Structure 1
């Protein structure tokens, strides 16, 4: 089995960045003012909600951390902090996790572990509004949430949302990476990735997230029309880093020089991230995982997945995979698949 992802320029219009959207909200000063390195978090003020959250969204193990590291390195370059690279254990300087406990504890008035799934769903918009109010400038906020509703409540609070960055990766590779991340079998992860409405369990630091299936997650963010969404493919970030990351910088309203951009890309390389993890560890690595930064490459599924495993992924994900450019028209190697009619396919 051998297939390459279709280059970004030849994929459908849904995953091409819209230059007009870049001009709508980009503001370098508002991002630079988001520095939390030396400032204590301000208590939430009772002021009206403001649209200042830029979501960094993805299905797990799709490049979310890579993007956050790059943004940190680029903002450091723009601040003149050219010595060394961004500490991977300090990614809270310019970004925050949506599913961190403190926001939900404050809204719920109790530990999230004591809340029902419905209570958590209803608390989510308020927790996101709290994140927004605590941030002076733009709030880059990481999430793996599917864009939709949970117990009748929106998973993403649009009242505080300015825009989103969505990173997508070939699910055949995601299955392998996610299995290592969770220390579970690839077969179990493939089953989870195919399950509509799938949600993760809470940990000692984070509330659970409703991911949906891989297809649901991707389609939900690609279908957002009310806010600008900049979509990046993991494989294109590997193959065309300067083009992809310069596009991201433009979307964020950042204006680096060529030298600053190249430096930020180099300081965000997989080799640098893996080196830091080896030397210092990485606090975002699950206890059960051997490493967080494990391979950092595309196409490993061709060596590691059985034909049956590939077929299972295709069975649940082929329509969206083709839409994002991960499938040739007739299938993968000897494996064939059929696509439902457009009338019957909503990506769910």
Structure 2
């Protein structure tokens, strides 16, 4: 039985992009790895397939308490699915609720955490949830926020953006590798190369370049346009929407910027999002 390498992030921070890169790097395909077949190599901790053996009722009947109670059994099933390390996507915060760990640390081999500027993230989140920007700002500041369940995924615990980031990154751990979404864009060779090294992989420069190219936003968007993406929210316009940094400078009002900074200043400062990134007025 293996242990879990978590690919962790707050929603809409670049987690799926990271998964696509890992697929293209490890499989080295002749054409971009199918975005609708990513569960063949990596999986998600919220997929109902890992919980169904623990509760015979339909997933729609499971409560948050039920999900929390089943978390360990689900992660044990994930570990048992492969003899080696299992790569698992999660949007859950690394928190304990009622004495139960959402992330089972004794089943954990390590984690790659992707953090994204909340000033840009809020734009993607608004589209993903089908709400306006002001509502998305409220969601990111809600300690009780979490993903809703359906027949495919269970309830998730997101917490606030700041608490999510802090929960995964505040405690030093040798098995943790943190990357910024913006560096994935601006310094892909350095950033994705660092991810590969953290995973114990030593790809050639040619193979690394190819994996970066095959998992580029342009490639991912082209796939979604041609055949759709199963993980797209029914409320969103596109899953792979824009793939840029700095849009907030033209899309957010001064009041919206101030509210996000007020809510998340400490973690924004930690990761260089404030005050280095200045507003239009600044």
Quickly name the TM-score band, shorter chain normalised: over 0.9
Query: Whose radius of gyration is greater, 1 or 2?
Result: 1
Question: What is the aligned partner in structure 1 of residue 63 from structure 2?
Answer: 116
The list of structure 1 runs, each at least 4 consecutive aligned residues, that deviate by more than 3 angstroms after superposition, is: 224-227, 329-335
Q: TM-score, normalised by structure 1?
A: 0.78
Alignment-derived partner of residue 17 in structure 1: none
Matches within 5 A, 1:1-348: 50=1, 52-77=3-28, 81=29, 83-225=30-172, 228-328=175-275, 332=279, 334=281
SS in structure 2 at match of 1:123: helix
Q: Per-residue displacement from partner, 1:264-299 (whole Å, max 9, x unpaired)?
A: 101111111111111111111122222111100001
Aligned pair in 2 of structure 1 residues 66, 330: CA closer, same or farther (>3 Å)?
closer
Per-residue deviation, 1:333: 5.2
Q: Distance in 2 between matches of 1:226 and 1:193?
A: 26
User: For residues 83-135 of structure 1, what are the alpha-carbon distances to aligned partners after superposition, in whole Å with 9 as ceiling and x for unaligned?
Assistant: 11111111112100110112122122322322232222111122111111112
Structure 1: stretches of 5+ with no match in the other structure: 1-49, 336-348
Contact 1:162-1:227 within 8 A present in 2 as well: no
> Which is worse superposed, 102-111 or 146-155?
102-111
Give the equivalent residue in structure 2 for 1:31.
none
TM-score using structure 2 length:
0.95
Query: Match of 1:90, SS?
Result: helix
Cα-Cα RMSD: 1.6
| 1:326–1:111 distance in 2 versus 1, CA, 3 Å | same
Gaps of 5+ in 2: none
Aligned residue pair count: 282
Measure how far apart 1:225 and its partner are: 3.9
Q: What CA distance in whole angstroms lies between the structure 2 residues aligned with 1:162 and 1:306?
A: 42
Change (3 A) 1:226 1:154: farther
Give the C-alpha shift of residue 152 in structure 1: 2.4
> Partners in 2 of 1:84 and 1:64 — Cα distance?
21
Q: 2:274 is paired with a residue of what secondary structure?
A: coil
